[in-house]
């Protein structure tokens, strides 16, 4: 059974748990505490030199890092990827948007405000307004798309929606963002949560 090196409050790890459950792939979870430093120790770095979870490790010892690469790999050839080459490109467009323009602001501000450590939040207090501004900019890009589309790619629920849902649905934690400002996002989250075999974070 594959081992998911996992942090419970990590949206990136949740992406893998959610799509694996919907695909019917059982996972063994190896838990890491937030801020424990365990992913920067030599035994972990031997598996992922970039020192991050999620990391999905298979019985033969092979391992894959980067949440969006893992969920792309798991869904290749399944109904969770769009059917056409164009729409697969658009799905990846949104997944790269998520990692470049969304996660570094939406997830990081939520982490600082809701999951500490307090010393880091204090030390980075000057950065918080910029994180809020850029996170809201990403949420507005999503809102613009969702005002006219039910899903992010291919006209149906896909791996791109999983990638964007992970840190959007918990963006209010710690008072980081107000999702009531984004009605189309709220409706999309309800549609996503009504999908078969949905599991909460």
**Which residues of this chain interact with a copy of itself, rule CB under 8 A?**
49-50, 62, 64-70, 72-73, 76-77, 85-86, 88-90, 92-93, 95-97, 99-101, 103-104, 140-141, 144-145
In whole angstroms, how close is the CB of 194 to a copy of itself at the nearest point? Answer: 26
Q: Which is nearer to a copy of itself, 91 or 171 (CB)?
A: 91
The Cβ of residue 151 has, within 10 Å, a number of other Cβ atoms equal to: 19
In whole angstroms, how close is the CB of 1 to a copy of itself at the nearest point? Answer: 17
47-18-116-56 Cα dihedral, nearest 10 degrees:
0
The strand pair at 28-31 and 3-6 is best described as parallel
Q: Which is nearer to a copy of itself, 123 or 193 (CB)?
A: 123
Gap between the Cα atoms of 75 and 87, Å rounded: 14
Q: Which is nearer to a copy of itself, 158 or 196 (CB)?
A: 158
Gap between the Cα atoms of 147 and 37, Å rounded: 41
Q: Which is nearer to a copy of itself, 104 or 174 (CB)?
A: 104
Q: Which is nearer to a copy of itself, 34 or 100 (CB)?
A: 100
Q: By three-state DSSP, how is residue 93 classified?
A: helix
What token pair was written down for 41? 């120790």
Residues 6+ apart with CB under 8 A from 144: none
The Cβ of residue 96 has, within 10 Å, a number of other Cβ atoms equal to: 12
Angle between helices 159-168 and 85-97 (to 10 degrees): 20
């Amino acid at each position: 059974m594959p081992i998911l090196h996992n942090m419970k409050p990590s949206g990136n790890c949740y992406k893998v748990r959610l799509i694996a459950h919907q695909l019917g792939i059982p996972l063994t979870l190896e838990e890491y505490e937030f801020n424990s430093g365990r992913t920067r120790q030599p035994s972990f770095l031997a598996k992922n030199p970039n020192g991050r979870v999620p990391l999905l490790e298979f019985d033969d010892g092979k391992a894959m890092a980067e949440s969006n690469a893992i969920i792309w790999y798991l869904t290749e050839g399944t109904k969770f990827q769009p059917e056409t080459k164009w729409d697969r490109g658009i799905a990846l467009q949104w997944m790269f948007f998520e990692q470049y323009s969304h996660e570094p602001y939406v997830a990081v501000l939520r982490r600082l405000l809701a999951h500490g450590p307090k010393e880091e939040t204090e030390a980075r207090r000057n950065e918080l307004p910029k994180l809020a501004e850029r996170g809201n900019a990403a949420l507005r890009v999503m809102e613009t798309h969702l005002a006219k589309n039910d899903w992010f790619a291919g006209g149906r629920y896909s791996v791109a929606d999983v990638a964007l849902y992970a840190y959007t649905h918990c963006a209010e934690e710690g008072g980081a963002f107000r999702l009531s400002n984004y009605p189309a996002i709220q409706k999309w989250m309800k549609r996503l949560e009504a999908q078969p075999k949905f599991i909460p974070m």
